Amino acid sequence: ADGYNMTANAILVFSEKEISANTSVEIRNFAMLTGKLGKTSMGVISLKEKNNSEGIINFKVDSLTNNLKEKLDSGKVKNLFIFGEDPIGCSTNNNNVNNWFKNTDFVVVQDYFMTETAKLASLILPASFPFETGGSFTNTQKVIQQFDGTNSDIISDCNLTQLVSLAKKLNIKGIQTGDEVNTEMLKEITKTNNNEMLAFENTTTDNNNKLFDFGCDNFVLRFEKYFENSFTIKNKEYERV
């Protein structure tokens, strides 16, 4: 703590998946207390577990439905549309998450693989991989990083085309192309109030209540398992030698 405080240009870097939400709040408080938050070449870098979770935060998705977890736990949510996530396969409490699905009437899952969640879906939509369609990821610094598709899509309609088609069926007029998505993202990011006064947030207890591992993503789960197994096999080979 003293070293961080006395260093002219100091940055705290942490991984969100390794700590609780309240711990990250106290890290922010510490950076504020030492006068290093929001200044050039100093402050805090919060590394996300999922590569595009910053983009979801910028779109303020969490504000669209208040008390979502409480509504899921109480069985008030009857219809689910799950995009590229595997809450059952990545859950830290399978019984609790399974109960969410038992109380639903209709579940739509759009994913790359037949995940544990997709197995319980009423309707499955095949998803395109990012390297097939291109797109963008938003990094921790809120920089939108665009990339082009390098492979042809093996399914007839990509993710966006599927969603646009569904929206038309429901008489919803909105985004039609990837360029319009990027324009909307830029609008949301520029809405951020950078002049907002910083304030300390008080925490009294820890809240290590993580619901999902692997960023709730089956693709990340597969990679992590493959990575771990590769090291296990190598270690066994060294032991035999």
DSSP-based three-state secondary structure for 109 = strand
- Give per-residue pLDDT as tens, 45-102: 999 888 778 888 877 777 777 888 899 999 999 999 999 999 999 999 889 999 999 9
Q: Could you give the number of structural domains in the chain?
A: 1
Count CB neighbours of 17 within 10 A: 14
* Mean pLDDT lowest among 15-19, 97-101, 118-122, 183-187: 183-187
Entry pTM:
0.82
Is 14 inside a domain boundary? yes
Q: Where in the sequence is the domain holding 33, given as residue range(s)? A: 1-47
CA–CA–CA angle 128, 217, 101 (5° rounding) = 100
Between the alpha carbon of residue 151 and those of residues 78, 84, 90, 129, 133, the distances in Å are: 37, 19, 28, 9, 8
Is 6 inside a domain boundary? yes
Is 89 inside a domain boundary? no
Is 11 inside a domain boundary? yes
Query: Closest by alpha carbon to 46, among 81, 91, 13?
Result: 13
Is 153 inside a domain boundary? no
**Two structure tokens written together for 65:** 């439905």
Q: Where are the alpha helices (DSSP H) in 34-107?
A: 53-58, 68-73, 94-102
- Give per-residue pLDDT as tens, 129-173: 988 988 888 888 778 888 888 887 788 899 999 999 999 998 988
Percent over 90 (pLDDT), the chain: 46
Is 27 inside a domain boundary? yes
Is 15 inside a domain boundary? yes
Is 38 inside a domain boundary? yes
